[in-house]
Amino acid sequence: MSRLPLRNAARTASRHRVITAVVGAVVLCGAGVGAAAGAGAFASASLPAPASALRQITGFGSNPTGLRMYLYVPHHVRPHPGVVVAMHFCTGSGPAMFAKTEFASLADRYGFIVLYPSVPRAGHCFDVSSLAATTHGQDDYTDAGTIVRMVHWVEQHLNADPHRVFATGISSGAEMTAVLLADYPDVFRAGSVMSGVPVGCFGTVAGPEACLHGTISMSPQQWGNQVRDAYPHYRGPRPPIQIWHGTADTLLYYPDFRDEVAQWTNVLGATMAHRDHPKSTWTHTVYVTKSGQVAVDAYSVAGETHQLGLDFPDWAQYAIRFFGLARGSASTP
């Protein structure tokens, strides 16, 4: 593995301290891949509580950044199951993400496995800002590399399907989701981000504050280069992404949503194909590739703050459908 250049170490460490201080100040309470969820796709009624227990896994491999690994395996698992990596917000944890989202209950219904990485260090934010974090192959230095090792452990020990691995998260977890799609497009099949920012946003010369407020002026091509530069020699297919944001978000401001859409439509070569309103405050826009495949599935929610992921917990159901995991039940694969 290549080593993080020393000339960047102090700069990136300082930047991450600023981001942790700002973002960590807010406490959140409380058909195939790329299939867009349309109006009335799911009922909003609460799902049953998870039927199985969350367990911590140790000894999953090299862990240079000290992450913890929590795993939810439902009682009824499909043969060769899919894996959803669900990542928490700043000040959160893997167990908090388990308790405050619907992914475990959906795993009971559809027979997939949920992996909850957890950041125990101060601030409890994933590192998405350092140079290493947005560089493929920096496994010896990054949260992203550690999370990929967790995924490989699940594949090897639980016979999970390496072609059905997905990432999702809220806030800091959303940012890590996007970083994973950029750094490891050969590992993750799709992602869903809730209240995040574009890849590379915190690493631009404009600085963290400009990223938080969505005031960075870059073209879609420049934003797209932030993703391509994370793995410059990669020539394979890139995963589609679902993007959620509230218009009244005053932590990661709404213009970040615009920049996320610009970034990923550029990377995936996608253009707008459809717009609808699944709920009265939701504007849902679908962007497709030249071949008609859904590449970016974007949800703008009017009047919602950074609490969006908890005010609308059924977003998890839309994410699972986008991943192609909402097919039948675990007992009828």
Say whether 192 is catalytic: no
Of 87, 235, 192, give the one whose Cα is nearest residue 150.
Answer: 87
User: Per the structure block, which two tokens stand in for 159?
Assistant: 């016979």
DSSP-assigned states of every residue in 5-65:
PHHHHHHHHHHHHHHHHHHTT-------TTPPP-TTSS--SPPPPPSS-EEEE--SS--TT
Rounded to 5°, angle at Cα 174 from 172 and 179: 95
How long, in residues, is the chain?
333
Which position among 105, 118, 129, 171 bears the catalytic label? 171
Residues ≥6 apart with Cβ < 8 Å to 104 = 50, 52, 54, 72, 74, 98, 114
Strand partners, 72: 54, 114
Strand partners, 96: none
Contact (CB, 8 A) for 127 and 145? no
Residues ≥6 apart with Cβ < 8 Å to 275 = 283, 284, 285, 286
Residues 90-109 as b/e (b if ≥16 CB within 10 A, e otherwise) read bbbbbebbbebbbbbbbbbb
How many whole angstroms separate alpha carbon 235 and alpha carbon 242? 22
Residues ≥6 apart with Cβ < 8 Å to 302 = 246, 247, 281, 282, 283
From the CA atom positions of the chain, what is the Rg in Å?
18
Mind telling me the catalytic residues? 171
